[in-house]
């Protein structure tokens, strides 16, 4: 410990300078607060070597009490902190070397334990994952899945109905996205399709266009069934379908839980062309014979990896058993793990695939960063610092549990931050109101679970914060894809404790990407 005394003395001097300097008239609150956050990360890294939690708590308390101070020369203080950190690290390495030389067993404080570096025992095995995928897509799987290579650069050359084209252009599309250039035509031809593309690139419009092209509008019976994992996503798909088919006079209905069963029965018996819904309510309508399956010729699973997971798989099978044998099937998702592809063998007929390799899934328009918070209890203060620093249009904060959503919402409101929250324990009417407020912009911060990680499209969202890292690497892409929709720029910030080091490394390996530490100029990126 004596070798660290000098470091502690220097830190004390730096903090005294920090607390005593007069505010500089040209220093902005945003830049000062951003640098405060960066300084906190330096403190975390230093004390991971010192392992002095009592002193660490006291120093953090002093830094947070100074978070509103504005002063010039902060960069010089930070440079001194970087030098100090390097010096402490070098002393630690020399001490370890001496310890090994004399045969002592000293505790390991290797830099690999820091977030963003490679911790030992990473759970994600990239080679095993890729081998599974290759086994399904090649060899004996060649006869099962084929690849679609045709590309159509404009909507006009896809052979779509004139009134469908009018709806597409009226919705705001000018040129098809990459997935739309390849994905619409095979679906309109009645082929089974497996389509994968990054979040926010137009998958919903792809299968909606394919369905609308094939409907017989003289027959007022359900001809297409679309399933989604959440009520919000099902209702959003309904709106897109209705908008694209506006000039076709399409009748669409969303069957979701939390709404009136009797009203669903009335609308379905009156006749619709397309039903979009969640598995539980759709199965209930089929079982009651309110939704007649005789004329259904198209079946779509949106967010297919989630729909084919353990939680939904049995419900999907039950619904599929009630549908006609001659059926076109489409599965769509941003991520398509080998387990989901394997299940598709049971109900698809020689589908064509439009897939993206695992390491090509990163979202180019979204800048991704992490913040070392070290401990769970420091996340709240870091979050409040960010919102005091950044000028944000709208943002989504993801948390892993419903109870924690409620807890964070109360804490943020107690600190005078205006936030909304939604999760699966809320009734449908409340969730609808909250989403309407968020879409309209009257609510700017939404705290939620993975309920909204998939498919929800709010164009103004520029920032996603993973207050908790997702428990599965696949969910990371769905979460951060709530920002940067359809080519817009966005930022994703991940809060990382010591316990999260392994998951952060798994995410980086899964997407073959590097997530950088949060820079001091993050305000310039939004």
- pLDDT (tens digit per residue) in 46-92: 555 444 444 444 444 444 444 433 333 333 334 444 444 444 444 44
Determine the distance from the C-alpha atom of residue 77 to the mean position of all C-alpha atoms in its chain, rounded to a whole number. Answer: 36
Determine the distance from the C-alpha atom of residue 139 to the mean position of all C-alpha atoms in its chain, rounded to a whole number. Answer: 33
**301 forms bridges with which residues in the sheet?**
227, 331
Lowest mean pLDDT segment, chosen from 113-127, 319-333, 435-449, 457-471: 113-127
d(CA 449, CA 405) in angstroms, rounded, equals 7
504: which residues sit within 8 A by CB, 6+ positions away?
Answer: 115, 116, 370, 469, 494, 496, 515
* 431-451 residue pLDDT tens: 888 888 888 888 889 999 887
- Other CB atoms within 10 A of residue 138 CB: 10
* 98-138 residue pLDDT tens: 333 333 333 332 333 333 333 343 455 556 555 655 565 55
d(CA 66, CA 60) in angstroms, rounded, equals 10
d(CA 152, CA 158) in angstroms, rounded, equals 7
Helix 74-102 and helix 5-20, axial crossing angle in degrees, nearest 10:
170
How far, CA to CA in Å, does 391 sit from each of 26, 68, 463, 491?
A: 18, 16, 10, 12
How far, CA to CA in Å, does 2 sit from each of 6, 7, 44, 240, 443?
A: 8, 10, 20, 66, 53
Which of the given ranges, 55-69, 264-278, 349-363, has the highest pLDDT on average? 264-278
Please tell me whether residue 201 adopts helix, strand or coil conformation.
Answer: coil
**492 forms bridges with which residues in the sheet?**
368, 464
d(CA 475, CA 453) in angstroms, rounded, equals 7
Helix 310-321 and helix 279-287, axial crossing angle in degrees, nearest 10:
30
72: which residues sit within 8 A by CB, 6+ positions away?
Answer: 24, 26, 27
Q: What is the mean pLDDT of residues 253-265?
A: 94
d(CA 33, CA 74) in angstroms, rounded, equals 11
CA dihedral for 139, 144, 150, 151, sign (positive or negative): negative
Backbone angles phi, psi at 353, to 5 degrees: -115, 140
412: which residues sit within 8 A by CB, 6+ positions away?
Answer: 383, 384, 419, 445, 447
Mean pLDDT of the chain: 76
More confident site: 205 or 510: 205
* 35-59 residue pLDDT tens: 666 566 665 555 554 444 444 444 4
**300 forms bridges with which residues in the sheet?**
226, 330
* 280-317 residue pLDDT tens: 999 999 999 999 999 999 999 998 888 887 678 889 98
How far, CA to CA in Å, does 455 sit from each of 18, 59, 91, 211?
A: 45, 42, 50, 18
How far, CA to CA in Å, does 363 sit from each of 20, 289, 367, 490, 517?
A: 43, 43, 8, 10, 18
Backbone angles phi, psi at 193, to 5 degrees: -135, 145
CB of 207 closer than 8 Å to CB of 300: yes
Which of the given ranges, 39-48, 91-100, 354-363, 457-466, has the highest pLDDT on average? 457-466
- Tell me the three-class secondary structure of 134-199, residue by residue: HHHHCHHHCCCCEECCCCCCCHHHHCCCHHHHHHHHHHCCCCCCHHHHHHHHHHHCCCCEEEECCC
458: which residues sit within 8 A by CB, 6+ positions away?
Answer: 394, 396, 438, 439, 482, 485
């Amino acid at each position: 410990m004596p070798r660290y005394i000098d470091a502690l003395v220097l830190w004390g001097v730096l903090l005294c300078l920090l607390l005593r300097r007069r505010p500089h008239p040209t220093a902005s609150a945003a830049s000062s607060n951003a640098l405060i956050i960066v300084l906190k990360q330096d403190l975390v890294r230093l004390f991971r070597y010192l392992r002095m939690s009592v002193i660490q708590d006291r120093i953090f308390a002093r830094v947070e009490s100074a978070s509103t101070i504005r002063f010039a020369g902060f960069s010089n203080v930070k440079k001194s902190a970087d030098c100090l950190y390097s010096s402490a690290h070098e002393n630690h390495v020399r001490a370890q070397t001496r310890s090994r030389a004399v045969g002592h067993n000293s505790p390991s404080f290797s830099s690999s334990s820091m977030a963003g570096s490679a911790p030992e025992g990473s759970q994600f095995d990239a080679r095993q994952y890729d081998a599974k995928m290759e086994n399904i897509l090649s060899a004996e799987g060649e006869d099962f899945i084929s690849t679609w290579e045709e590309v159509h650069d404009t909507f006009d050359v896809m052979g779509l109905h004139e009134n469908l084209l009018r709806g597409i252009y009226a919705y705001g599309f000018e040129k098809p996205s990459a997935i739309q250039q390849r994905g619409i035509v095979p679906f309109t031809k009645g082929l089974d399709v497996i389509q994968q593309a990054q979040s926010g690139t137009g998958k919903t419009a792809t299968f909606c266009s394919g369905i609308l092209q094939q409907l017989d509008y003289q027959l007022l019976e359900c001809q297409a069934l679309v399933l989604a994992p959440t009520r919000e996503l099902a209702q959003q798909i309904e709106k897109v379908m209705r908008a694209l088919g506006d000039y076709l006079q399409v009748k669409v209905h969303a069957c979701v839980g939390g709404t009136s069963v009797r009203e669903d029965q009335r609308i379905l018996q009156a006749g619709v062309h397309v039903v979009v819904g969640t598995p539980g309510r759709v199965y209930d309508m089929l079982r009651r014979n309110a939704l007649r399956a005789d004329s259904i010729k198209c079946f779509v699973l949106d967010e297919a990896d989630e729909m084919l997971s353990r939680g939904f798989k049995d419900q999907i099978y039950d619904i599929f058993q009630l549908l006609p044998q001659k059926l076109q099937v489409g599965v769509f998702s941003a991520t398509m793990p080998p387990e989901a592809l394997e299940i598709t063998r049971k109900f698809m007929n020689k589908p064509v695939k439009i897939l993206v390799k695992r390491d090509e899934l990163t979202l180019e328009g979204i800048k991704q960063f992490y913040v070392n918070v070290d401990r769970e209890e420091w996340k709240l203060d870091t979050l409040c610092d960010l919102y005091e620093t950044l000028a944000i249009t709208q943002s989504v904060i993801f948390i892993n549990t419903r109870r924690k959503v409620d807890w964070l919402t109360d804490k943020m409101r107690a600190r005078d931050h205006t936030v909304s929250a939604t999760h699966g324990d809320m009734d449908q009417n409340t969730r609808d109101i909250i989403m309407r407020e968020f879409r309209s912009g009257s609510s700017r911060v939404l705290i939620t679970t993975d309920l909204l990680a998939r498919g929800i499209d709010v164009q103004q969202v520029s920032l996603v914060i993973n207050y908790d890292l997702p428990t599965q690497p696949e969910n990371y892409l769905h979460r951060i894809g709530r920002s940067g929709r359809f080519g817009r720029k966005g930022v994703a910030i991940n809060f990382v404790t010591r316990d999260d080091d392994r998951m952060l490394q798994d995410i980086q390996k899964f997407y073959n990407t590097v997530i950088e530490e949060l820079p001091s100029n993050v305000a310039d990126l939004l």
